[in-house]
Structure 1
Amino acid sequence: MAYQPIPAPTPAGTQFTSPVPIIGPQYCASYPVDLAIVKKVLSITDGNFVVTDINGNVIFKVKGTLLTLHDRRTLLDAAGNPIVTLREKIMSAHDRWQIFRGGSVEAKDLIFSVKRSSMIQFKTKLHVFLANNTKEDVCDYRIEGSWSERSCVIYAGESNTVIAQMHKKQNVQSVLLGKENFSVTVYPNIDYAFIVALIVILDDINDEASED
C-alpha cells in the first residue's frame, strides 16, 4: 500500500470529486497533498531527486541515468521499488518523453507521453498525452508557467481546471549544500505520482534548454 501524505488545507475551486488515477489509484488522496522536492544540483551522473511530505517523510526518490543514449530516469517509492520509468525519445523535435509502468520501456507498458507544445518557447508549455490518446489532437493535460521562477501550473486538458501547482522554496543553506528545493500542491483526487513524474520531465527539458 502506498504511503499516504498528511492532508493539507483544501484549495479553493477543487474540481474532482472522484479519483483520477494515471499511474495508480493508491496515489490519489481525497485531500490536497503538499510535497517538497529536493534536487541535488551538483550530482553529475544521477540527476537525483527526493520527494517528501510537509513533515520530511520520504515518499518518492528519482534515480537518473544521464550518460547513455537515452536519457532515462526511474521514479521509485520510499522502499526503492520502481513505479515508472521515464525515457527521453531521441531524434524528437519537441523533446518528447515517454513514461512506462515499473521498470519497463516496452510499448505495451506506456502510460503517457509529454512533449513541448512548440519548438520555440519563451515560457514553459508542455502537452501531456495518455497512451490511449493516439491521435494527440487535444492534450489530456498541459503544463504552463515560468520554470525559472518555479511557478508552473498543471491543468486538465485545454481547460482552466488546475490539478497541481508548484512553488519555489529556496534558501541559503540549500544553495550551499548544492540542493534546489521547490514544492508542489496536488489537488484532491489527482494522482500525485503522476504529478511528480511530470515535474521531473519538466526539469530535464528546461535543463537541456538552458544548455542550448
Structure 2
Amino acid sequence: MAQPSYAPMAKPRFAPALQPVFVIGPQFCAPYPVDLVIVEKPFTVTEGNFHVTDVEGNLMFKVKGRSFFLAFHDHRLLIDAAGNHVVSLRNKVLTAHSRWEVFKGDSIYAKDLLFSVRTSHVIQIDTKLDVFLANNSAEEVCDFKVEGSWTEKSCVVKAGESSTIIAQMQKIETLGKHKFTVSVHPNVDYAFIVTLMVILDEIHL
C-alpha cells in the first residue's frame, strides 16, 4: 500500500542556531530543517501512544512502554525504525513536580543519564517545562524550555531562557485529529525533540 503524502507545512520562523545542538547523538542532526509527523495511537501497557514518521509516512520512531517497570517509576523506550533502543524514559512518580529522566539506550543507571525534564510549576495551566542536561546538577537555570499549549498542539522548544526557537509543534487540521507536526531547526537533535514530545504527552495523559 502506498504511503500517504502530506501537503507542505508552513515553516516557522527560526532564529539562527549559534551551534549544532545534539543531546542524544549527532547522528540525529541534519543540516536542513526536519519535519516530523507524530501519530497518537491508543495506549497499551507494552506499546506507547506515539508513532513518528517523516512527511512521506516512513516510520522513524515509536514508543514502547513498561508500566511500573521499577517501583515508583513509569518506564518508556524510544525505538528507531531499525528496532534500536534510542533512549529510556522514566517518570519519577512521587515528586512535587511532574518529572521525567532520560537515559542512553535502555539504561536506567545514573551514569547514563542524558537529561531530565520537569514542569516549571507544581500547578500550571499552560505547558511550561524546564529541561536540564545531566551535567547541570544545580538546575538553577534550565538548558532548554518548552512553552505553549499541549491541548492546542502548539508548543515551541527554546534554547535555555533565550528567545531562540529550535523546534515548533503545530496542529495541521488536514492531517486528522490524532496527527500533528513538529518542525526541527537545522543541526538540532530531532531524537531529543521527539523525546520531549513524548514526555509532554505523558504529562498530559
Length-normalised TM-score, structure 2: 0.88
Classify the secondary structure of the residue corresponding to 2:204.
helix
The unaligned stretches of length 5 or more in structure 1 are: 1-7, 208-212
Tell me if the contact between 2:35 and 2:54 (Cα under 8 Å) persists in the aligned partners: yes
Tell me if the contact between 1:85 and 1:104 (Cα under 8 Å) persists in the aligned partners: yes
Match of 2:159 among 133, 156, 161: 156
| Bigger share in strand | 2
Q: Given the superposition, is the C-alpha separation of residues 147 and 11 from structure 1 closer, same or farther in structure 2, using an over 3 Å criterion?
A: closer
Q: Distance in 2 between matches of 1:144 and 1:151?
A: 9
Classify the secondary structure of the residue corresponding to 1:201.
helix
Q: Given the superposition, is the C-alpha separation of residues 53 and 151 from structure 1 closer, same or farther in structure 2, using an over 3 Å criterion?
A: same
Match of 2:179 among 172, 178, 181: 181
Q: Given the superposition, is the C-alpha separation of residues 10 and 47 from structure 1 closer, same or farther in structure 2, using an over 3 Å criterion?
A: closer
Q: In structure 2, what is the equivalent of residue 44 of structure 1?
A: 44
Length-normalised TM-score, structure 1: 0.85
Give, in angstroms, the shift of residue 44 of structure 1: 3.1
Q: Given the superposition, is the C-alpha separation of residues 13 and 199 from structure 1 closer, same or farther in structure 2, using an over 3 Å criterion?
A: closer
Q: Distance in 1 between matches of 2:11 and 2:173?
A: 24
Extract structure 1 runs of 4+ deviating beyond 4 A.
Answer: 8-11
Amino acid across the alignment from 1:206: H
Q: Does 1:194 align with 2:197?
A: no
Classify the secondary structure of the residue corresponding to 1:66.
strand
How many residue pairs end up in the alignment?
194
Query: Within 5 Å, which residues of 2 pair with 1:95-174?
Result: 95-170=98-173
Amino acid across the alignment from 1:202: L
Tell me if the contact between 1:89 and 1:98 (Cα under 8 Å) persists in the aligned partners: yes
Q: Given the superposition, is the C-alpha separation of residues 67 and 131 from structure 1 closer, same or farther in structure 2, using an over 3 Å criterion?
A: closer
Aligned-CA RMSD value? 1.9
Q: Does 1:80 align with 2:83?
A: yes
Identity across matched positions, percent: 56
